[in-house]
Structure 1
Amino acid sequence: QGDACIKSSSNFQGRSCDGLSHYIPAIQLMADTYGFKHIFLATDTQEVRDATEEYPQFKWHFQKESKYSQKRSHVLKFLPIEKALRYGVLDAFDEGAAYLVDLHLMASGHAFVGKFTSNLDRLVYNLMGSKSDCLRPFISLDSGWCFDYGLPNGDGDTGDFQC
């Protein structure tokens, strides 16, 4: 779960916050089609990590919660990330490093399930393609591919958004 799930976020762009169960049909389709059993789950939320126990047919991989991620989760309940960074409540280097780690771990997969209304998800899929000789299978749960950065022409299931 990303910025769409942060109640204080000022960047709502027509995205919805969905739990793990929303992703499972697409993950199961990928598993049935391609035989995948190992899933890397990028989340800041312990609740989402705990939900993986409901799906023992998969081997789940994720980063364990650190003191920084606990602090981040707490801070972002009250402040949008932009303000938390501006006021020094969160460290910009740590935030950027965590983002890049997630980006590269997610792009190391053989397929992708996510939401193309997310800048991170689109970056992941771009990087996946650059690391291989073909485009990897993907399922976007909310929008088709969008590549016009900063233009309000994204057309998602929950409304328009800026690419």
Structure 2
Amino acid sequence: MSGIRLDLSVRDLTETDVPRCGWSGSPAHVRQLVHQLHRAGAGEIDYLAVCTPVGFPVALCGVDYTVTPGAGMLWQLSVHPALQSCGIGTLLIRAAERRIGARGLTRAELRVEEDNPRARALYERLGYRAFGRAPDSWDVEAEDGSIHRYETMCTMMRKDLA
């Protein structure tokens, strides 16, 4: 069986990338990316993008250093739907872990929705272990532009990087 080989790179997300990230969420989510990039400029977070050779982002991940002392919190992990299950999520998570380690931190944490066993299986395969549960919520923009609050229960997971 033959396949398509695509050389991907991981780099910081930029404001010029944002208009090409519509696949990652609602228009409100994409607008929020600009705010997150300002936080990256202040050193509070890293926001990574996996990109094609022409620079098109196909996966995104934030790493927040302000949530848990001694750890980087991975969040907003997203891979373009057409490219899921191709190893891109693994590439992105490993790059995020290297960023965390480069800051001298020894632990990565994340939260995964309890109704997302596919994502949890990926995280477990990469060495993350559950250590608790917590509710989470965020605003979601509907197609008509209205905003509603999405609430969910998440499993908290961590991985020692040392």
* Structure 1 or 2: more helix by fraction: 1
**RCO greater where, 1 or 2, for CA within 8 Å and sep 6 or more?**
1
* Structure 1 or 2: more strand by fraction: 2
